[in-house]
Amino acid sequence: MPIKYQEILIKNTRNKKIYCDIFSYEPETIEELALGGLYIVSELQSDEDPSRLANLLNSIIKREYYYSPHRGALESLETSLKKANMSLNEIAQQGNLSWLGKLHLVCVVINKQDLFLSQAGEAEAWLCREGEITNITKKCAENPAKPHPAKIFQNVISGKIELNDKFLLATPAFSSLFNDQRFKEIFRLPKIEHISERINAAIKEQKKVSPFGALLIEMQPEETAEIPKKRGNFITPPISLDEVLN
């Protein structure tokens, strides 16, 4: 099912210890088509160049996810998250612990009509389906105050996508822009272009906005699809999206 997406990214130019990023990757080869698209929204705070660590995570997850397409999307995502956990544990063992508890990331795979999602920290994902809005990360395991560096990613949510579904992936500071009712009114708008316009208008109204990243995704009919331009051992069994929605 074709998709369209819009990115909203507010970076912190003053405090280099806080870094927000959006990573969107569409398949470029026939082999990659079997695994669909990969989307990551993250915020990371660290005393040691958070942008480098965020980019490292994006690179590891992407490389491992597309490494062996015959595994299928779910196994590929679980493998990539295990590799990310291993790498984070190695970084911690080298003495870099300033990021621990300050990594907020949501990773989504959309493969035809299937969705797979994993989350760390306080990053969130919402689904708008026929006007009903659901926080689909609410079933993920609660994040401990002192997370283990080898257990950052622990859960995968899986489910079926429907035509006209809209998703919003965002880092924690996004929720400070609106109250709950206002957010629902905006997210129910028919097209993500309209939602993006309203979010950007709200940003301009604020005197000070904390850094955040937000990615809007819309499932489209075949005939109206727009092809997006390319931008620059601890995983539990998947949680059913149907369970979250119920």
**96-107 pLDDT tens trace:** 999 999 999 999
The domain made up of 3-245 is a member of CATH 3.60.40.10: yes
Higher-pLDDT residue of 80 and 245 is: 80
Mean pLDDT calculated for residue range 168-197: 95
Q: Is 109 exposed, middle or buried (0-12, 13-18, 19+ CB in 10 A)?
A: buried
Q: Torsion angle, CA of 189/191/197/201, rounded to 10 degrees?
A: 10
Dihedral of CA 10/116/235/81: which sign?
negative
Q: What is the spatial distance between Cα 237 and Cα 233, in angstroms, rounded to a whole number? A: 11
Which pTM was predicted?
0.88
Q: Structural domain boundaries of the chain?
A: 3-245
Q: Looking at the predicted structure, is the pLDDT value of residue 239 above 90?
A: no
Higher-pLDDT residue of 83 and 3 is: 83
Average pLDDT, the chain: 89
CB 48 within 8 A of CB 117: no
Q: Which residues does 230 contact at the CB level (< 8 Å), separation at least 6? A: 24, 25, 26, 28
Q: What is the spatial distance between Cα 146 and Cα 49, in angstroms, rounded to a whole number? A: 21
Instruction: Tell me the percentage of the chain whose pLDDT exceeds 90.
Output: 76
